[in-house]
Amino acid sequence: MHSMALLGTNFSTIDWVIVVGYLMISLVIGLFVKQYTNSMVNYLGAGRAVGPWLGIATMTGTELGLVTVMYSAQKGFTGGFAAFHIAMIAGFVTLIVGLSGFIIVPLRRTKVLTIPEFYLRRFNEPVRVLGGIVLAAAGILNMGMFLKVGSVFIVVVTGLNDETYAVPFVMTGLLILVLVYTTLGGMVSVIITDYIQFVVLSFGLLITCYLAIDQLGWDHIFAKVEARMGPEGFSPVVSEEFGPSYITWMCVMGLVMCAIWPTALARALTMKSEGALKIQYSLSSVSFVIRFLIPYFWGICALVYFTSAPDKFAHFLAPDVEADVTMQAMPTFISHILPSGLLGIVSAGMIAAFMSTHDSYLLCWSSVLTQDVIAPLTGNKMDDKQRLFCTRLIIVLIGIFIWFWGVFYTNLGDIWDYMAITGAIYFTGAIPLLIGGLYWRQASSAGAFASLLSGCCAIVGLSPILNPLEKRIQELFLLNVEQGTLLTPARVGIATVLLTTVVFIVVSLLIPDRDKNGEIISKKLDQ
């Protein structure tokens, strides 16, 4: 990791007091709400009593994590205003899902706690167990960089020296904090801390945008992007970083983020009514846009700010700048433009965003492994107390794994592309299962099982596999193209979605579900 401490920061003692005070409040919340988490429904679903406005805040709080701010700012820094298309697509798809109730309403009617539980009700036990394993594995890999990214933010903003050792140290402290209040409070503590984070971070995002525009100048920002990037800084169609296949992939991701990804669906399953659920999603479409646009804008402002002092920030402006450097652009920028005190408030909001994402993800993957893998494999003989203990134990084990993954996985590349392709291991198979299972009566258990297995092909999109594979293909077919132009994570993801969909349909038609007498079953949703 490149050293950024020499660039300086406005972070001071008062900022440390603000950040530590906020973290202590979060711990107290976790201890206080422990008394309300005496069952799996309360621990995982908050009693299914969340109203639309709290639902909007907590859904935004979870999805607007520090990793979201970091990867979005990185996209803005490298892609300019062209990155805005990702936000617009996400918001539009979320609005359509909210207005129509597509996927989310019929799924809530089933009253399941997890997606693999739906697999059981619609298909069979093997599909549930495989779905739980694939979902948890993809989800844990997906959040594998969260801890490292959050720690990089803190190290850069605070100006801690010797980042080589500071990042693992900060990772350890943050992980312990998250594990303590997540294991104690469950979904209740998640929702409460998400709400607090929503308020704090909303203020921080808006005031930072105001200061950035005030210092750089609105017209100056556009002029600098135009001068450095040309049309590619504004149009994703002509941009080398994006292009048509990437835009198509973002349309898939837009649906996934709001209606397929388990941590978002977890909020849908806690809503008290279908009407509240539709309101939550329809209004959350605005926050889905904002949660991307503002960090993109921060990344763009960081680029403009650095170009005003090219000698000081030369490592950020190099043509072959590495991903671990562009990841540090946004925290470096805000540590310079925000005054002491305000920097502490914004940093506290960012750390809160970090924790809200971690607690939701840890709770989601641990509950899936407990409810949909371990419990079925043990004959569903576990009582509520045993399931709670198992869930909490798995949370700790996942935490340990992501600590080691964050330390030793160094070939990260672009954060957003990493997250999209690791998540694709699950959702490329889950898309046909959820849509087909909810709306197509001929969907069969064999088709569902085959689709889940096919989705694992998305792992090819990870750079340690993708880059050598592309090189090998070029050698075999005597191609002479630039590395990364033939095979991209976006193209791998799109191909995998097409593969799983075809496999799901074909196998369902060839191997339909049958009853005890051998008659083909056309399942209804309520079965």
Give residue-wise pLDDT tens across range 81-99.
999 999 999 999 999 999 9
pLDDT of 469 strictly over 80: yes
3-state secondary structure of 518: coil
203 part of a folded domain: yes
- Per-residue confidence at 108, pLDDT binned at 50, 70, 90? confident
519 part of a folded domain: no
172 part of a folded domain: yes
C-beta separation of 442 from 164 below 8 A:
no
- Per-residue confidence at 412, pLDDT binned at 50, 70, 90? low
520 part of a folded domain: no
- Per-residue confidence at 72, pLDDT binned at 50, 70, 90? very high
Distance, first Cα to last Cα, the chain: 54
| C-alpha–C-alpha distance, residues 228 and 109, integer Å | 52
- What's the domain count of the chain? 1
374 part of a folded domain: yes
268 part of a folded domain: yes
CATH number of the domain at 378, please: 1.20.1730.10
Strand partners, 520: 514
Most confidently modeled range among 138-147, 421-430, 473-482, 485-494: 421-430
Task: Find the mean pLDDT for residues 474-496.
Answer: 79
- Per-residue confidence at 21, pLDDT binned at 50, 70, 90? confident
pLDDT of 376 strictly over 80: yes
Task: State which residues form the domain around 142.
Answer: 5-43+52-510
525 part of a folded domain: no
Task: Find the mean pLDDT for residues 275-283.
Answer: 83
Largest Cα span, the chain: 78
Higher per-residue pLDDT: 132 or 463: 132
pLDDT at 188: 52
Q: Which residue has the tokens 């019929």?
A: 106
pLDDT at 196: 66
pLDDT of 460 strictly over 80: yes
| C-alpha–C-alpha distance, residues 76 and 493, integer Å | 22
Give 214-223 contacts, CB < 8 A, sequence gap 24+: 215/305, 215/337, 216/301, 216/304, 216/305, 220/304, 221/300, 221/301, 221/304, 222/81
441 part of a folded domain: yes
Q: Where is average pLDDT lowest: 66-70, 300-304, 456-460?
A: 66-70
Q: Where is average pLDDT lowest: 10-19, 57-66, 324-333, 393-402?
A: 57-66
- Per-residue confidence at 455, pLDDT binned at 50, 70, 90? very high
Q: Where is average pLDDT lowest: 344-348, 429-433, 498-502?
A: 344-348
| C-alpha–C-alpha distance, residues 298 and 374, integer Å | 43
3-state secondary structure of 441: coil
